[in-house]
Chain A
């Protein structure tokens, strides 16, 4: 039944694309300067009171696009990040989606599965050209069931951020570059009252950098099974390292879901935590709240698998219900331009175009670690049940950290449940 639904929706999408593409040559209102068409674009650029990104978009980028594309107007609607998923879900149910959406990359498979997105790899002749220019890990977030449903818009990744005072206390002159150095730092910090590492949970966003760097993975490449992959010896060793540190009091209880633990964004600059893994946006937060704090950015500590982090960010997607498909595709092409990508860099957005990396670092020097980390950063499972996987990882790994079950047992139980999620698609 599930399969047939999927096939059904795939057929529906194909039909929608065919109609849309055929329609634009036949009768899609092309829009003229006197009678322009309007594209609606939803996003959460203004999240957390970030007015800089919205300003650049509304006052520089959109006017520039409209000037070069007479007859098309773009109306950007800002939706708070926390409301966006729900708004998109209800709009999808009510068939009231906008033309374009800046979607969190974890949402793309979900909405692709609902059949409300246009597969760009079918709808754009020049898709491959754009795809090749982006980071592979970032591009992969758009892949669902063999088709690409969007193009990367902006990206981010997690790197190790360390507090200099903690490094001094541990007698280290550089942040830990390997698992061994990381463990050594934790050992050296014992008795200083500084916790070596802190994180806010055990979901894929939190735990995957460790797993990948440890040489493991969460599921087989064809997404058919997690058993045998998640509970591999490599993963048992990696998680055991974290569990040992946790039980020695060297990792904060926030990682096992203690919502009363001091947050990472406060504890690191406050000197309680020596290191955290986090993204490029933290700089802006600290600049206003902790002006004296100088964060040290370095790659995720390397294990047997190297230094591999997790990809975050947003993709731009086109809805199947859009009446102006060709115009919307034009805007998508515009988002991949150097003009668009670099304009948003100073506002806290990392470019998705590999080639623009050096230029981005020129604009914002502290992005260099993030830019390098992105070269190898990987995507989480491209499935509809990403949130369920996070729930499973949290529920099963927490007892392992608390020491009530063995790491192997926890990973095996998690793998079994993830198998079931994978089977659903």
Chain B
């Protein structure tokens, strides 16, 4: 490593260190902070917090409560308290584990390609060119298109007599063209994942494009002067600089993967015989079709727990290496 790079690196580090260094001495001016209570900030916060409390917090607490009961939907009927029975039932329920397995498959199979492809597209579009805005829009279009519309579209594409079979069979002669994609667990999940990836690339691309703007040009130039090739520059400069964005995208995509619902519900309905069920379609069926609201709530509480634990782990992983908290 040359002197210039080191110097720049040190300067960056020094700049990073400044705010915390300033904080540390902490002048003993505490009494000045203890001003009179002012309601103004709270009043400004109130509408948002109220909305959050009514539409998110309250239903969450209620679902948590319901998960301990054989919950009756009509207020006048008595709901039987079951303790942890609903949870025990879920943990011993084959279909629950199958749905969990499918959810994990979906996450693994969609998050990684979305990040990789999103990043590649972002790198390609990062270079200034007159057609860049057009491509940016084209890649972002699936993101803003309704899930319902594209789910139905993909269902037709993957139908027995759909375009995918026609392309693979009659055009390319790769398969016999009579694959019943949506009639089997793995091919069904493949179709659902294909939709998830296609629809998600644009979103991660957008985040990465923004993050790439923040990669210090001076560092890239310095690396070039040092003779680093394109791949080395990407690995040693670009990638560390967008680590925060990478972490953010990963966490959000994993949460999004846990919440996959519309595409499964519309493309296979969890079928055949529940083999493509994911956690949310299983929960939906239990709660809203069978009116087993207690069990449905228990499943969603377990889902929330899984998301929470995984998110904490991910945030840890990304924070530990970069030394900064993700926004």
Q: In the complex the two chains form, is B160's CB within 8 Å of A262's CB?
A: yes
Q: In the complex the two chains form, is B180's CB within 8 Å of A261's CB?
A: yes
Among B74, B160, B183, B271, which residue has its beta carbon within 8 angstroms of that of A114? B74
Nearest chain A CB to B252 CB, angstrom units:
29
Chain A, interface SS category:
helix
Nearest chain B CB to A387 CB, angstrom units:
5
CA distance A110 to B269 in the complex (A): 23
CA distance A256 to B85 in the complex (A): 32
Nearest chain B CB to A343 CB, angstrom units:
34
B273 / chain A contacts, CB cutoff of 8 Å: 256-257, 394-396, 398-399
Among A259, A388, A396, which residue has its beta carbon within 8 angstroms of that of B268? A259
Q: Which 8 A-B pairs have the closest CB atoms?
A: A257-B272, A257-B271, A258-B183, A260-B182, A398-B273, A260-B159, A395-B273, A93-B73
CA distance A253 to B180 in the complex (A): 9
A-B contact count (CB 8 A): 90
Residue on B nearest A388 in the bound complex, by CB? B290
Q: In the complex the two chains form, is B80's CB within 8 Å of A260's CB?
A: no
Q: In the complex the two chains form, is A92's CB within 8 Å of B74's CB?
A: yes
B159 / chain A contacts, CB cutoff of 8 Å: 260-262
Does residue A304 face the partner (Cβ distance < 8 Å to B)? no
Nearest chain B CB to A353 CB, angstrom units:
32
Nearest chain B CB to A198 CB, angstrom units:
12
CA distance A148 to B202 in the complex (A): 56
Q: In the complex the two chains form, is B161's CB within 8 Å of A262's CB?
A: yes
Interface mask (A372-412 → B, CB under 8 Å = 1, otherwise 0):
00000000000011011001001110110000000000000
Within 8 A of A (CB), among B33-85: 72-78, 80
Residue on B nearest A320 in the bound complex, by CB? B76
Residue on B nearest A86 in the bound complex, by CB? B288
Residue on B nearest A384 in the bound complex, by CB? B291
Q: Would you list 25 pairs from A and B whose C-beta atoms are within 8 A, ordered by A residue?
A: A1-B80, A2-B80, A5-B77, A5-B80, A93-B75, A110-B291, A114-B72, A114-B73, A114-B77, A253-B160, A253-B180, A257-B183, A258-B180, A258-B182, A259-B269, A260-B183, A261-B160, A384-B291, A387-B289, A387-B290, A391-B274, A391-B290, A394-B273, A394-B274, A396-B273
- Contact A115 to B76, CB < 8 A, known contacts A89-B291, A391-B285: yes
Interface mask (B4-19 → A, CB under 8 Å = 1, otherwise 0):
0000000000000000
Nearest chain B CB to A405 CB, angstrom units:
11
Chain B, interface SS category:
loop
Within 8 A of A (CB), among B258-292: 267-269, 271-274, 285, 288-291
B78 / chain A contacts, CB cutoff of 8 Å: 1, 5, 8
B182 / chain A contacts, CB cutoff of 8 Å: 258-260
CA distance A2 to B80 in the complex (A): 8
* Residues of A in contact with B, size category: 20 to 34
Does residue A287 face the partner (Cβ distance < 8 Å to B)? no
Within 8 A of B (CB), among A253-287: 253, 256-262
- Where the two chains meet, the residues of B that have a C-beta atom closer than 8 Å to any C-beta of A are 72-78, 80, 155, 158-162, 180-183, 267-269, 271-274, 285, 288-291
- Contact A115 to B74, CB < 8 A, known contacts A86-B288, A258-B160, A259-B269: yes
CA distance A399 to B275 in the complex (A): 11
Q: In the complex the two chains form, is B158's CB within 8 Å of A260's CB?
A: yes
Does residue A95 face the partner (Cβ distance < 8 Å to B)? yes
Interface mask (A307-331 → B, CB under 8 Å = 1, otherwise 0):
0000000000000000000000000
CA distance A384 to B183 in the complex (A): 30
CA distance A387 to B77 in the complex (A): 21
Nearest chain A CB to B176 CB, angstrom units:
14
B75 / chain A contacts, CB cutoff of 8 Å: 93, 95
Interface mask (A35-64 → B, CB under 8 Å = 1, otherwise 0):
000000000000000000000000000000
A223 / chain B contacts, CB cutoff of 8 Å: none
Q: In the complex the two chains form, is B162's CB within 8 Å of A260's CB?
A: yes
- Contact A5 to B72, CB < 8 A, known contacts A115-B77, A259-B155, A260-B159: yes
Does residue A9 face the partner (Cβ distance < 8 Å to B)? yes
Residue on A nearest B158 in the bound complex, by CB? A260
A115 / chain B contacts, CB cutoff of 8 Å: 74, 76-77
CA distance A38 to B161 in the complex (A): 52
Apart from the given pairs A1-B80, A262-B159, A387-B290, 6 other A-B contacts in the complex at a CB distance below 8 Å = A2-B80, A92-B73, A110-B291, A114-B77, A115-B76, A398-B272
- Contact A259 to B271, CB < 8 A, known contacts A2-B80, A387-B289: yes
Nearest chain B CB to A60 CB, angstrom units:
36
CA distance A133 to B297 in the complex (A): 44
Q: In the complex the two chains form, is A8's CB within 8 Å of B155's CB?
A: no
Interface mask (A81-123 → B, CB under 8 Å = 1, otherwise 0):
0000010010011010000000000000010001110000000
CA distance A320 to B192 in the complex (A): 44
Nearest chain B CB to A100 CB, angstrom units:
18
Does residue A363 face the partner (Cβ distance < 8 Å to B)? no
Does residue A12 face the partner (Cβ distance < 8 Å to B)? yes
Nearest chain A CB to B78 CB, angstrom units:
6
A262 / chain B contacts, CB cutoff of 8 Å: 159-161
Residue on B nearest A397 in the bound complex, by CB? B273
Residue on A nearest B81 in the bound complex, by CB? A1
